[in-house]
Structure 1
């Protein structure tokens, strides 16, 4: 991958303050909607209870239908996982992912050159790279125990979109019974996909956890942003 001094300016963000959390967005601002700058979901969790690793999953561009071509990550979009290690809600470390020529390149975790909306690719801190998957999942594990993946995954978001619209319709007769029970609800996103970026890495690369979640577990404050090259 060629080194770059390009500035990437923020387009979208999802904020998370726990290590075991699911956040869903699925339609972002007009500037990023329908593109791989559109953040659908962000997951951060321990792969197993008591593990010394943390897994980060970023899902981009929801509603990618199964019969469409995959591997359509935008080479002008930088995805950045931000990690706050001193509980001041300012990123102290970042993990970056950017595609080039059919591969996803990862950098960090490292102190960002600047915080906030603008970013630069940390080309002097390579983490690893992996071929972007198509029909078969491809993972890469580095010598320091970091596992990487990029490609399509089934959308994990269960949502009865049409019943939801009926419930919020001003016409009180559109959904007189309200939301449907689980065995009757339709998963509108069943069969659709997102484009996922996955990083699993040892906590030793992230430093000490300083925040505490609602369960009393010490965690990292972490959030994800997408930035487009200017």
Structure 2
């Protein structure tokens, strides 16, 4: 693969620390309905006391179950940004971009530039994996990094239509109780990438969360080729 410049940021979703979750379903019109649309970003230890960190990025989640889903856009570069010195500027990035049915990963390595423009760091190849369809396919690299890319069921329970009714003043009874609420997105998928990576490749965490647990300051962006 060749280095490709002029990837401009379309979507940003932040999460400061392992064990926290961020969600941002349906982004701006320029990215909505494409794999530039960031839905969720998860970062966590796979097991308590593990020396690994898992990053999961969910994309394109605004389609109901009975409608067709798209695929990863080959013009969209996904980037997990990691701050290692506490200044909220990315010091390391992990990149992912699809090509011909496979997802290619690069990093973690210092970016060529910070901010809104990105370059594919082909000299820092991390590994690649076949993009899954019905069955989940994973790859584990010689460095112990586990990779996945493909559709996964939307992780959130949300009664979208009752929510709209309440907000619109059409449901004076309010939200439905457990057992009656309907999960609007049951059976719907997101397009997801998942990486489990040894912490030795990320450096030491630079912050602590509310529980006093050491964490990384990290966020995800999507960048489209210009």
**What TM-score, normalized to structure 2?**
0.96
Give 1:67 deviation, angstroms: 6.9
Give 1:219 deviation, angstroms: 0.1
Matches within 5 A, 1:1-230: 2-64=1-63, 72-169=71-168, 171=169, 174-230=170-226
Structure 1 residues 144 and 70, CA gap change in structure 2 (3 angstroms): farther
Range 207-216 or range 42-51, more displaced: 207-216
Give 1:66 deviation, angstroms: 5.9
Structure 2 residue runs of 5 or longer lacking an equivalent are none
Runs of 4+ in 1 over 3 A off after TM superposition: 63-71
**What TM-score, normalized to structure 1?**
0.94
What SS does the corresponding residue of 1:167 show, helix, strand or coil?
helix
Query: Would the aligned equivalents of 1:159 and 1:189 in 2 still touch at CA under 8 Å?
Result: yes
Query: Would the aligned equivalents of 2:56 and 2:195 in 1 still touch at CA under 8 Å?
Result: yes
Q: CA RMSD in A?
A: 1.5
Structure 1 residue runs of 5 or longer lacking an equivalent are none
What SS does the corresponding residue of 1:124 show, helix, strand or coil?
helix
Query: Would the aligned equivalents of 1:63 and 1:193 in 2 still touch at CA under 8 Å?
Result: no
Q: Distance in 1 between matches of 2:144 and 2:70?
A: 25
